Each structure stands twice: as C-alpha cells, then as structure tokens.
Amino acid sequence: MQDEGWPMYRRVERRARRFERVMEHADVDVHALVLDRLGATFAEAFRACLACSASARCRAWSEHSDDSPASFCPNWPLLRRFVRVRTVK
C-alpha cells in the first residue's frame, strides 16, 4: 500500500530499507533486537535512523565497507549490542 498523500511516505520507506540493509551488513540479530524490551529498542533505533543526517555515509557503508560505522551512526552503540558473535570452525 502506498499513501501518496503523506509527504514522508517515500522517506520512511527508503530509511526502512536502509535500516534493514545496515542490520544485515552488520550481522545484527534482528530477532533479538525486536524482542528486546518488547520491541521498544527496535522502535527507538528506527526513530533514530529516520532522524539521522548521515544517510549518504550510511548508504555507502552498507554497500561497501566492513569498517565500523561508529564515526557517523548514532545507532551503532545500540546495534553493536545485537551483532552476532562469529565463531571460527
């Protein structure tokens, strides 16, 4: 469903997709994030993403970098808590 009458529709949709890519790229355990505080942590993180002014840097990072996004991402301290621990087999 697309609501052309709401001016923020496209921005929210783009940010939601980018937020999903960031979590995937960082290997965030989304299930654990959503369960934390009954979804409040996820909602808080998404609101911060919507208000963030570093979307160009975020997009570039999520597409090409393995470095930490700590220098530009206000969500990184929160998301970092949910990054899956990689084990070497």
In a domain, 89, yes or no: no
Task: Report the interhelical angle of 9-25 vs 55-64 (nearest 10°).
Answer: 40
Q: Cα 55 to chain center, whole Å?
A: 11
Q: Which amino acid is at 87?
A: T
Report yes or no on 76 lying in a domain: yes
Contact 55, 16 (CB under 8 A): no
* pLDDT cut 90: percent of the chain above it: 55
> What is the extent of the structural domain holding 34?
9-80
Does a structural domain hold residue 85?
Answer: no
* pLDDT at residue 40 greater than cutoff 90: yes
* pLDDT for the residue numbered 70: 87
Segment 83-88 long-range contacts (CB within 8 Å, at least 24 positions apart)? 83/26, 83/27, 83/28, 83/29, 84/27, 84/28, 84/29, 86/27
pTM for the model stands at: 0.80
In the prediction, which pLDDT does 89 show? Answer: 66
Q: Is 46 within a domain?
A: yes
Mean pLDDT within 7-15:
88
Could you read off the pLDDT of 48-72 as tens digits, one per residue? 999 999 989 988 888 887 788 888 9
- How many domains does one find in the chain? 1
pLDDT at 66: 77
